[in-house]
Amino acid sequence: MNHREIVIIGGGIIGAAIAYYTSRAGYEVTVLEKNALASGTSSKCDGNILAIDKDPGFDSQMSVVSQDLVKELTNELDIPFEYRNPGSILVCENEDEMEAAAKWVAQQQEAGLPFTMLDRNDLKNESKYFADDLHGGLECPTDATVNPYLLTYSLMEKAKQLGTTVITGTEVRNLETDIYNNFNISTSKGEFTAKKVINAAGVWAPHIGHMLGVDIPIKPRKGHIIVSSRQNPVGPRKVMEFGYLISKFGGERQVDEVTEKYGAALVFEPTESQNFLLGSSREFAGFNTTVNMEVIKCVARRAIRFYPSMKNMNIIRTYAGLRPWTSDHLPIVSKVDDIPGFYIAAGHEGDGISLAAVTGKVMAEMIQDQDDTIIPTEPLRLSRFKHAEVKT
Ligand SMILES: Cc1cc2nc3c(=O)[nH]c(=O)nc-3n(C[C@H](O)[C@H](O)[C@H](O)COP(=O)(O)OP(=O)(O)OC[C@H]3O[C@@H](n4cnc5c(N)ncnc54)[C@H](O)[C@@H]3O)c2cc1C
């Protein structure tokens, strides 16, 4: 019989981080992944480990904890994952945004984060490619960047050394519990049983939840990315427009109809190999990951607005991924009250790379029934949605 102590469903960055921290805590772990590792959202994204775009308070504090853990991972894991720690900046197009940015900085400073404002000159020193009419911005020096695909593999590789079994090409098709609170897991490659099951299936987590009659309010929120060819360095670190925050949290922006429709906002990320990634868009379009050229053009226009000479630079490819969205922009990292041994770690929307490490660590602590977890778990509980209506 294929009996396991812990089964993790999903081999994305969240499943990989949980596998690493739980096997490090001494558990016997098996990961079931329907395709290849990192074949879901974790390979169709950027690689930013950010605090700059998090709600001041619990959200940003949790991100800073994760940033520290990722720094530690550079020493703990064997496969390098292109970690760099250059900080990041948000740029403002007008004085209204500068005012809102100043408030954002004040709130973050109050929460103990080292945010500072930037003026026009600071931007000129940052990149000669910036448009002349930008007003300034703000900076978060603790922000980092990784290659998310490599980090997923690196975590999983270490987890394997610690005893984790990784089974790819294996789809979980049904889940049931028996009278002894064991789980019976039917997959495309046979039956397993387990004492505990962790649902780390990203945008597919609701599907896994339904197998046990659990409603998990996560929806796919599509995002497009453009990859440039290698060329002169445009800038040393991550840049976003301030409007990205408004787009993320659902506020109103002063942009044209198409930009608003696709939630397009500049996200610039230089990679270690001097390509750069340009994003991004936000829309509810089901599970379809086909690239829509209308959205790509919109993202490109937005980039050229901030970096006019990009109109003469070359791109090599485009892709789209599905962010696992929740209505309050926090992930669900939680036990399920009615089903002992069933846990959820999903719904990280655009922050799953940033929050993977803290998610893995806190899930390992929850499994051990530890009271003093690395971050408070109350805000991440599934039960916060019990009476909430899910709106998109
Ligand atoms: C355009 C874009 C840009 C982004 N940029 C950033 C960023 O800069 N920083 C950041 O922090 N986050 C970013 N994100 C978000 C981040 O990519 C996600 O939050 C993260 O990848 C989610 O990881 P996951 O492991 O939960 O999901 P996934 O990577 O999707 O993993 C879930 C896995 O579960 C598997 N699975 C599903 N159903 C089953 C089943 N029945 N049986 C077995 N396996 C199953 C899937 O195949 C998949 O591999 C971005 C996302 C997008 C789309």
Q: What is the pLDDT of residue 246?
A: 75
Distance CA 105, CA 140 (A): 9
279 Cβ inside 6 Å of ligand 1: yes
Give nearest CA residue, ligand 1 atom 18. 352
185 Cβ inside 6 Å of ligand 1: no
Distance CA 216, CA 210 (A): 8
| C-alpha 341 – ligand 1 centre gap (Å) | 23
Q: What is the CA radius of gyration of the chain?
A: 21
| C-alpha 323 – ligand 1 centre gap (Å) | 7
| C-alpha 40 – ligand 1 centre gap (Å) | 5
Answer whether 334's CB lies under 8 Å from 343's CB.
yes
Q: What is the pLDDT of residue 390?
A: 44
In degrees to the nearest 10, what's the CA dihedral of 75, 366, 329, 285? Answer: 90
Q: Which residue among 67, 247, 353, 354 is best mutated to probe the pocket of ligand 1, counting the most ligand atoms within 8 A of its Cβ?
A: 353
**In 3D, which of 160, 102, 94 has the Cα closest to residue 133?**
94
Answer whether 50's CB lies under 8 Å from 60's CB.
no
Encoding tokens for residue 316?
A: 């090599």
Side-chain half-sphere CA neighbours of 31 within 13 A: 33
Query: If one looks up domain 88-141+219-325 in CATH, what number appears?
Result: 3.30.9.10
323 Cβ inside 6 Å of ligand 1: yes
Give nearest CA residue, ligand 1 atom 52. 45
41 Cβ inside 6 Å of ligand 1: yes
Bridge partners of 270, per DSSP, are 276
186 Cβ inside 6 Å of ligand 1: no
| C-alpha 220 – ligand 1 centre gap (Å) | 10
Q: Which CATH class is domain 2-45+149-217+328-385?
A: alpha beta
Q: What is the pLDDT of residue 391?
A: 44
pTM: 0.96
Within the chain, which residue ranges are assigned CATH 3.30.9.10? Answer: 88-141+219-325
Query: Closest ligand 1 atom to the C-alpha of 170?
Result: 43
346 Cβ inside 6 Å of ligand 1: yes
Distance CA 195, CA 217 (A): 25
Q: What is the pLDDT of residue 386?
A: 78
| C-alpha 164 – ligand 1 centre gap (Å) | 20
Give nearest CA residue, ligand 1 atom 2. 45
220 Cβ inside 6 Å of ligand 1: no
Query: Closest ligand 1 atom to the C-alpha of 322?
Result: 53
309 CB-near residues (< 8 Å, 6+ apart): 129
Distance CA 6, CA 327 (A): 29
**In which residue are the tokens 């004492």 written?**
195
Q: What is the pLDDT of residue 251?
A: 67
Count of residues for the chain?
A: 392
Distance CA 117, CA 167 (A): 48
**In 3D, which of 380, 344, 374, 372 has the Cα closest to residue 14?**
344
Our CA angle for 237, 262, 290, nearest 5°, is 90
pLDDT tens-place values along the chain, 392 residues long:
588 999 999 999 999 999 999 999 999 999 999 999 999 999 999 999 999 888 888 998 999 999 999 999 999 999 999 999 999 999 999 998 999 899 989 998 998 889 999 999 999 999 999 999 999 999 999 999 999 999 999 999 999 999 999 999 999 999 999 999 899 999 999 999 999 999 999 999 999 999 999 999 999 999 999 999 988 889 999 999 998 787 677 667 778 899 989 999 999 999 998 899 999 999 999 999 999 999 999 999 999 999 999 999 999 999 999 999 999 999 999 999 999 999 999 999 999 999 999 999 999 999 999 999 999 999 999 999 975 444 44
118 Cβ inside 6 Å of ligand 1: no
Q: What is the pLDDT of residue 201?
A: 99
308 CB-near residues (< 8 Å, 6+ apart): 129, 131
Distance CA 94, CA 78 (A): 45
Query: Closest ligand 1 atom to the C-alpha of 47?
Result: 8
Q: What is the pLDDT of residue 57?
A: 86
235 Cβ inside 6 Å of ligand 1: no
3-state secondary structure the chain: CCEEEEEEECCCHHHHHHHHHHHHCCCCEEEECCCCCCCCHHHCCCCEECCCCCCCCHHHHHHHHHHHHHHHHHHHCCCCCCCECCCEEEEECCHHHHHHHHHHHHHHHHCCCCCEEECHHHHHHHCCCCCCCCCEEEEECCCEECCHHHHHHHHHHHHHHCCCEEECCCCEEEEEECCCCCEEEEECCEEEEEEEEEECCHHHHHHHHHHCCCCCCCEEEEEEEEEECCCCCCCCCEEEECHHHHHHCCCCCCCCHHHHHCCCCCEEEECCCCCEEEECCCECECECCCCCHHHHHHHHHHHHHHCHHHHHCCEEEEEEEEEEECCCCCCEEEECCCCCCEEEEECCHHHHHHHHHHHHHHHHHHHCCCCCCCCCCHHHCHHHHCCCCCCC
Within the chain, which residue ranges are assigned CATH 3.50.50.60? Answer: 2-45+149-217+328-385
Distance CA 243, CA 64 (A): 22
| C-alpha 37 – ligand 1 centre gap (Å) | 10
270 Cβ inside 6 Å of ligand 1: no
